[in-house]
Amino acid sequence: MPNWIIRKLQQPDDFIEVAQLLNLIWSEPTTAEQLNEDEDKIPPGQLHYNEEGQLMGWDRPKWVAEDEHGQVVAYAIAWRAPWTEPGALIYSLVVDPKIRGNGIGNDLYDTVYQWAVQVKASRLIGYMKESDERSLAFAERRNHVKERHSFESVLDLATFDGGKLEESIQIAERAGIQFITLADEPGEVSERKLHELYKITHPDIPGYSGDFPWFEEWKKWSISQKGVRPEWIHIAKDGERYIGVVTLQQNEQTRAMYHEYTGVLPEYRGRRIALALKMIGVQTARNYGVPYLKTHNDSMNAPMLRINRDLIGFRAEPGSYKMVCDLR
């Protein structure tokens, strides 16, 4: 008989051990307090179906595996947001490495899978590190296929020398582009202009699917996230129009910053405005004594990879695969 039980997560008590598990697979650490704070932002789930019978709405069931000593040794979540593509569920599953291979991961995955079938999901999506061959093999044995490849990149600010790259800022300014932060123009009018900029540029990210969050939800999960400050949201303006943005987010444990978002309107691309915004972001990070910057890019996002790696010099790190299981 198994010497563990699978049960629903108990919030907030289980988050102490769940945070430790998630820190094994996430690129930046989290805390129990942060997990609990994020969950408190989300109302109870409400799933429904569209006219084609596809799963819609949102929910976030969570399960843990508890061993005979009462310790949480594995965790899984299946979730979708109101703007997630119809039919899709996204899941994460992590098992304490010391006890992998004894069936806990299989039992926990079966729990996720059975719930996905119960709510009539059509796709089950997981993101796994490309260096984690064991997890990739686990997924492939359960009919997952690799759909997309995302790269992680790191810039060590202690050794970074921007050289002539910062000239892109002056070149853009001479062309009439103004660089400000959200702290310079606070308030809902500016925030709604920023939301529109995100909404227009987001679909151009390779692999993006689903709808875009409405203003209140976008604000909650982007510019109002913990670690994001108005003075770290850098905006490029042409007159009164917001035409580009770089948003930085800081992790309170590592003090590192993450490029939470970069976007430039299509008609302004090819003028090195994105590079100028990136360099302003680098300046901000250095001014705050940040040790390194991180970012992620889809493997098909050649323009942004060129800026990050070829021009600025972000170091390539192991990325992740989007693993998809068709449930139809």
Is the domain spanning 4-121 CATH 3.30.540.10? The answer is: no
Per-domain residue ranges of the chain: 4-121, 153-320
Write down the pLDDT at residue 310.
84
Task: Give the pLDDT band of residue 297 (cuts 50, 70, 90).
Answer: confident
Write down the pLDDT at residue 204.
86
Query: Coil, strand, or helix at residue 285?
Result: helix
CATH topology identical between 4-121 and 153-320: yes
Centre a 10 Å sphere on the Cβ of residue 311 and count the other Cβ atoms it contains. 15
* Overall average pLDDT of the 22-40 stretch: 95
Contact partners, residue 194, CB within 8 Å, separation at least 6: 182, 223, 233, 235, 242, 245
Q: Are 155 and 279 within 8 A, CB to CB?
A: no
d(CA 279, CA 272): 11
Per-position DSSP letters for 106-160, written without gaps between them: HHHHHHHHHHHHHTT-SEEEEEEETT-HHHHHHHHHTTEEEEEEEEEEEEETTT-
Decide if pLDDT at 302 tops 90.
Answer: no
Centre a 10 Å sphere on the Cβ of residue 91 and count the other Cβ atoms it contains. 23
Decide if pLDDT at 1 tops 70.
Answer: no
d(CA 65, CA 87): 27
* Overall average pLDDT of the 214-222 stretch: 96
* Overall average pLDDT of the 93-121 stretch: 96
d(CA 273, CA 279): 10
d(CA 296, CA 245): 16
Tokens of residue 289, six digits: 């004594």
Write down the pLDDT at residue 304.
82
CATH, range 153-320: 3.40.630.30
End-to-end CA distance of the chain: give it in Å, rounded. 33
**Helices 273-287 and 167-174: crossing angle, nearest 10°?**
130
What percentage of the chain has pLDDT greater than the value 90? 84
* Overall average pLDDT of the 48-52 stretch: 96
Tokens of residue 190, six digits: 């500016």
d(CA 139, CA 151): 20
pLDDT digits (tens, 9 = 90+) for 267-279: 999 999 999 999 9
Whole-prediction pTM: 0.91
Alpha helices (runs of H) in the chain, residue ranges in sequence order: 15-22, 32-40, 104-118, 133-141, 167-174, 188-201, 215-221, 273-287, 302-305
